[in-house]
Chain A
């Protein structure tokens, strides 16, 4: 069913120096506190992180609950902001496929796709034998999700002790961590262009449509980066 050795190897990646654990913990503490402030109870808060486990989507849900948006609105807004998980899955799962693994396992394992686990896997997959990459990935995912769920619970209970300045401090940790990761990923012309153009076009498209800016900006930037990178290689 699952190879424990590789599962644990993936699980303990969370302890490495470049691990997203701190950023993940800080941002989900903020989410836990936010959930409490908008009226969720502890079970609902944990349930939410467990089932969604993608930070921007949870933030959108919280904002939508505050303004009393309809379910359809919540669904569409979350889908738009989390649609980035689609290219992330497509750019990761071909690296994990092996004929010995049951198909259903992939559909369950894809729940762990979120930036933090995805980045760990992208950095480490080459060092793992192909047959066991999916088990390793599940280990990475479970570790990250556990951090997120425990941080949500901590944030919920600490909510009354966190003042506005502390919440602001926690909110910057994730963007800073990922800015460092993205800058660190700029190793080829193609990757550098994808990151730089993605940031610029994401902002430009925001003025056209705040809802669609991530998808449209990301799609245009990624496609441009791909073609320019290919031309450059040739």
Chain B
């Protein structure tokens, strides 16, 4: 079992590192003023958003146990607080944990 865990960790880190490694190789040939760079910038933000949307809407682990509606309410309230607090990141992040813990234990 222990050997399996170590192999799993190595497989996970290798699978993660290869994307970074090939990213460095590709970026050797790309100038920051080029259109290709701009395209990759769009790809980076869009894949991150796709991942984020997946985590929020189809979560795995602990979040999956919370109702959709509660998750959306928390995210919506936190976004409102983010804008009210002039884009402060601390208030919405801390509040999100407290709010979700409260809502999920009471509803």
| B24 contacts partner chain A, Cβ-Cβ < 8 Å | yes
Q: Number of B interface residues, CB 8 Å? A: 79
The complex places the Cα of A201 from the Cα of B46 at a distance, in Å, of 9
Contact B45 A171, beta carbon cutoff 8 Å: no
Closest to A170 in B: B97
A–B Cβ pairs within 8 angstroms, 24 of them = A56-B55, A57-B12, A60-B12, A61-B8, A65-B8, A79-B18, A87-B43, A89-B22, A89-B24, A90-B40, A94-B30, A115-B48, A172-B66, A172-B75, A179-B56, A182-B52, A194-B46, A198-B47, A201-B46, A206-B54, A213-B50, A214-B50, A218-B50, A219-B46
Given contacts A185-B45, A225-B42, contact A198 B74 (CB under 8 A): no
| A151 contacts partner chain B, Cβ-Cβ < 8 Å | no
The complex places the Cα of A180 from the Cα of B82 at a distance, in Å, of 7
Contact B47 A215, beta carbon cutoff 8 Å: yes
Picked from B37, B44, B53, B55, the residue with its CB within 8 Å of the CB of A94 is B37
Closest to B30 in A: A94
The complex places the Cα of A150 from the Cα of B89 at a distance, in Å, of 21
Contact A198 B19, beta carbon cutoff 8 Å: no
Given contacts A52-B12, A85-B16, A218-B46, contact A179 B27 (CB under 8 A): no
Of the listed stretches A6-14, A105-113, A152-160, chain B binds A105-113
Contacts of B56 in A (CB 8 A): 175, 179
A-B contact count (CB 8 A): 325
A94-128 CB contacts (< 8 Å) to partner B = 94-95, 97, 106-107, 110-111, 113, 115, 118
Contact B24 A110, beta carbon cutoff 8 Å: yes
Contacts of A182 in B (CB 8 A): 45, 48-49, 52
A residues at B contact (CB < 8 Å): 17-20, 22-23, 26, 30, 34, 39-41, 44, 47-48, 51-54, 56-65, 71, 74-76, 78-79, 81-95, 97, 106-107, 110-111, 113, 115, 118, 164-185, 190-191, 193-203, 205-206, 210, 213-215, 217-219, 221-223, 225-226, 229-230
11 other A-B residue contacts (CB within 8 Å) besides A89-B24, A164-B65, A178-B48 = A17-B90, A34-B61, A44-B2, A107-B24, A168-B101, A195-B46, A197-B46, A198-B49, A202-B53, A205-B50, A217-B50
Contact A206 B58, beta carbon cutoff 8 Å: yes
Contacts of A47 in B (CB 8 A): 6, 9
Contact with A along B96-107 (1 / 0, CB 8 A): 111011001100
Closest to A72 in B: B11
Contact B20 A51, beta carbon cutoff 8 Å: no
